[in-house]
Amino acid sequence: MRPSDPSGASSVEREVIVLAGGDAFRPRLVRPLVTGAQVIAADGGLALAAGLGLAVDLVVGDLDSVDPTQLADAARAGTRIERHPVDKDRTDLAIALDAAAADGPARVTVIGGHGGRLDHLLAGTMLLASPAYASLSITALMGPAIVTVIHDAAHLAGEPGELLSLVPVHGMVTGVTTRGLRFPLTDGELPAGSSRGVSNVFTDPIAHVRRSAGVLLAIQPGEPAPTDHDRPDDDPDDVADDDGVARR
């Protein structure tokens, strides 16, 4: 898999990498994105920097999970440290995204953020799609998964046969049109809480996704698409409606 290239990103020149920590990463997904980027570590995300060969510009958070030795080394290297109270009403990732957004529009790559806790995973993923960060073009690398926030349109790079799910967040998403997927949509609707966009499949190396209103999370889970034999609930009568969405 390769990271996505959201459409309209040519107007966003500033590159920011946010190291969220919490899980393993795949350097082959990250290397093409790091040159010249501002690097912000959210607390324990600082631990990812050495493995990625990154010099961190800013560390933010309550610093309760960062390695003290790594923090001291970073400070000696000129990294700015911004310590926040432990008793706070925002996560360290939110503080890091605030810092990324403070200087205006940017293309942001978030690395990490899974951490094995469901509450952190859900809150962190929803946070990426917050209206507060609409000025940011955000892609998150969470373990094997790539999560792209779509406020307008995106060109998503993948391998034919790779899974892609389109998940509506913060309300109804309308005017959804896709190309390069097994089940295309044309001016479709994805209501909040709907599973209609789950487990689509790349048919082309680039999938094009556009919406008129609302916010989508495009999730490439990093697992091979199941074959028909792998689907226990497959039915030979499964068909795709005129709107291209599979029905059972």
pTM of the model: 0.82
Q: Which domains does the chain have, with CATH numbers?
A: 1-151 (3.40.50.10240), 152-223+237-248 (3.40.50.10240)
Beta bridge partner(s), residue 208:
155, 179
Tell me the residue type at 114: H
Tens-level pLDDT at each residue, the chain (248 residues) = 444 444 444 456 799 999 997 766 666 666 566 678 999 999 999 999 988 889 999 999 999 889 999 999 999 999 999 999 888 888 999 999 999 999 999 999 999 877 678 888 888 899 999 999 999 999 999 888 899 999 999 999 999 999 999 999 999 999 999 999 999 999 999 999 899 999 999 999 999 999 999 999 999 998 644 555 444 444 434 434 445 444 33
A 10 A CB-CB count for 109 gives 22
- CA neighbours closer than 13 Å in the CB half-sphere of residue 123: 12
